[in-house]
């Protein structure tokens, strides 16, 4: 079993893990909910001129933009937010590689000292113009960013399950713009073939998911339901849809990393004997199908 690439905290994502999961993330977003978000943005565009503005929280290497920009408006301006400057740099590099044509605007004339925050990208892709800004912020300390008050849409992918109940409540209390949250882990897992220790491993993994990921005790698999409740209490209209990872043998590299990461997390809890964990790992070498549950949420007024 290879060493796991999965993060343990918000600040410890690896670009390799994010790249490995990107194709499955992109195909797993619920298409009906995505169409609703796209229609909402098209309506905004019909009422005014200029670009649609989007703030993406916990952007990592920019995967959420690459998934959504092709189906959003012709003129878009994104602000990518992450606490890790290295991931913001990885996002910049990946987006330049992804685009069909690009312009790089920098406020720093010294190439060696240039940072992602000095840089704005103007990208062309799928007959769309996409402006990209980069913003470094520790979201565990900054629940509400000023840029969120003037944007058209706040987005986040695979982010909210890292945050705490208290953080989610504060976030929803300050949120004034529509939110499109995708791929929030909801705790549902199914392996084929099943193993006798699947349930005990899953329970131990959920225990680990609820430990501090930088925001206090994490909501983990409860995040989606908490987010829905908090948004509803703020009088948002909330549309919800499933967006599971459904993986087979073609996704073996991601399955292997998922098994390795799960096993490492369970070992850290000390809740199960090492022999049980090792037996579970071996049983997953034979898995030909795996479903990992996620939830997509679109909240608007």
pLDDT at residue 9 in the model: 41
Range of the domain at 67: 15-187+218-246+291-300
pLDDT at residue 106 in the model: 82
Q: Does residue 47 fall inside a structural domain?
A: yes
Q: Does residue 274 fall inside a structural domain?
A: no
Q: Does residue 126 fall inside a structural domain?
A: yes
Helix axes 252-269, 274-284, angle to 10 degrees: 170
Q: Does residue 165 fall inside a structural domain?
A: yes
Which residues of the chain are modeled with pLDDT < 70?
1-13, 107-117
What CATH code is carried by the domain that includes residue 170?
3.40.50.150
C-alpha 28/C-alpha 227 separation (Å) is 20
Eight-state DSSP code of residue 153 = E
pLDDT at residue 5 in the model: 53
Q: Does residue 286 fall inside a structural domain?
A: no
Beta strands in 69-197 (DSSP E): 75-82, 101-106, 119-125, 128-136, 153-157, 179-192
Integer CA distances (angstroms), 292 to 67, 152, 178, 254, in order: 19, 30, 26, 12
Q: State pLDDT tens for residues 23-67.
A: 999 999 999 999 999 999 999 999 999 999 999 999 999 999 999
**What domain count does the chain have?**
1
pLDDT at residue 11 in the model: 43
DSSP H or E run through 294: strand 289-300
Q: What is the pTM of this model?
A: 0.92
pLDDT at residue 15 in the model: 80
C-alpha 280/C-alpha 261 separation (Å) is 13
Q: Which residues contact 288 (CB under 8 A, 6 or more apart)?
A: 192, 193, 248, 249
Integer CA distances (angstroms), 222 to 153, 201, 267, 268, in order: 24, 17, 22, 21
Phi, psi dihedral angles at 209 (to 5 degrees): -60, -25
Q: Does residue 175 fall inside a structural domain?
A: yes
Strand partners, 179: 154, 299
Q: H-type helices in 29-60, by residue range?
A: 31-47
Q: H-type helices in the chain, by residue range?
A: 15-28, 31-47, 63-68, 85-98, 165-174, 198-209, 223-233, 252-269, 274-284
Pairing label, strands 52-57, 75-82: parallel
Q: Are the CB atoms for 226 and 233 separated by under 8 Å?
A: no
Q: Does residue 8 fall inside a structural domain?
A: no
Q: Does residue 200 fall inside a structural domain?
A: no
C-alpha 104/C-alpha 131 separation (Å) is 10
């Amino acid at each position: 079993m290879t060493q796991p690439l999965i993060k343990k905290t918000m600040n410890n994502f690896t670009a390799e893990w994010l790249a490995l999961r990107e194709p499955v993330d992109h195909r797993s977003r619920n298409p009906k909910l995505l169409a609703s978000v796209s229609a909402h943005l098209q309506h905004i565009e019909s009422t005014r001129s200029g670009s649609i503005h989007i703030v993406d929280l916990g952007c990592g290497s920019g995967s959420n933009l690459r998934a959504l920009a092709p189906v959003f408006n012709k003129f878009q301006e994104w602000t990518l937010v992450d606490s890790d400057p290295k991931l913001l740099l990885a996002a910049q590099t990946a987006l330049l590689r992804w685009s069909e044509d690009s312009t790089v605007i920098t406020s720093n004339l010294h190439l060696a000292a240039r940072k992602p925050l000095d840089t704005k990208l103007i990208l062309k892709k799928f007959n769309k113009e996409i402006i990209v800004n980069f913003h470094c912020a520790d979201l565990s300390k900054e629940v509400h960013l000023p840029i969120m008050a003037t944007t058209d849409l706040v987005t986040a992918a695979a982010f909210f399950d890292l945050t705490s109940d208290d953080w989610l409540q504060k976030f929803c209390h300050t949120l004034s713009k529509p939110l499109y949250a995708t791929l929030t882990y909801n705790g549902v897992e199914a392996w084929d073939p099943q193993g006798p220790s699947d349930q005990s491993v899953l329970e131990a993994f959920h225990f680990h998911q609820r430990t501090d990921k930088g925001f206090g005790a994490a909501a983990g698999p409860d995040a989606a339901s908490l987010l829905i409740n908090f948004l509803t209490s703020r009088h948002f209209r909330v549309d919800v849809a499933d967006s599971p990872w459904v993986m087979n043998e073609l996704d073996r590299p991601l399955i292997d990393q998922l098994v390795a990461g799960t096993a490492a997390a369970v070992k850290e809890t000390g809740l199960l004997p090492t022999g049980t964990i090792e037996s579970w790992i071996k049983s997953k070498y034979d898995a030909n199908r795996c479903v990992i549950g996620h939830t997509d949420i679109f909240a608007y007024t």
